[in-house]
Amino acid sequence: MIQDVLSGIRRGTTTDALAMSLGLQRSTLMAMIEFLVDERYLEVVRVACACSPSCSGCMCAPDADAGSDCSRIYTLTAKGERFIAQKD
């Protein structure tokens, strides 16, 4: 399952589409993604929100929960790339 999540993010699949293709609730997928960020398989490369171009000082700040209007873009770290390469 972790490989599927990492591969989907590597391809640029949206979290909604990835959750649907994996048969997961979006909240479950987001918990997995946050775990992968914490374990340094993924990193957040950009944050954007609906209320401000910079996301600073608004409710959509990077620490906001996954239910906010904040959009995060994730990318694989070297560790994440190595994980996928080992499984191919």
Which pLDDT does position 20 carry in this prediction?
96
The CATH number of domain 2-87 is 3.10.28.10 = no
Structure-token pair, residue 33: 């993604």
Question: What residue ranges in the chain does DSSP mark as E strands?
Answer: 42-48, 71-76
Residues of the chain predicted below pLDDT 70: 47-70, 88
**Percentage above 70 pLDDT, the chain:** 72
Predicted TM-score (pTM) of this structure: 0.75
| Domain locations along the chain | 2-87
Q: C-alpha angle with apex 1: 75 to 76, nearest 5 degrees?
A: 10
Q: What is the pLDDT of residue 31?
A: 95
Which long-range contacts (C-beta less than 8 Å, at least 24 apart) are formed by 48-51?
none
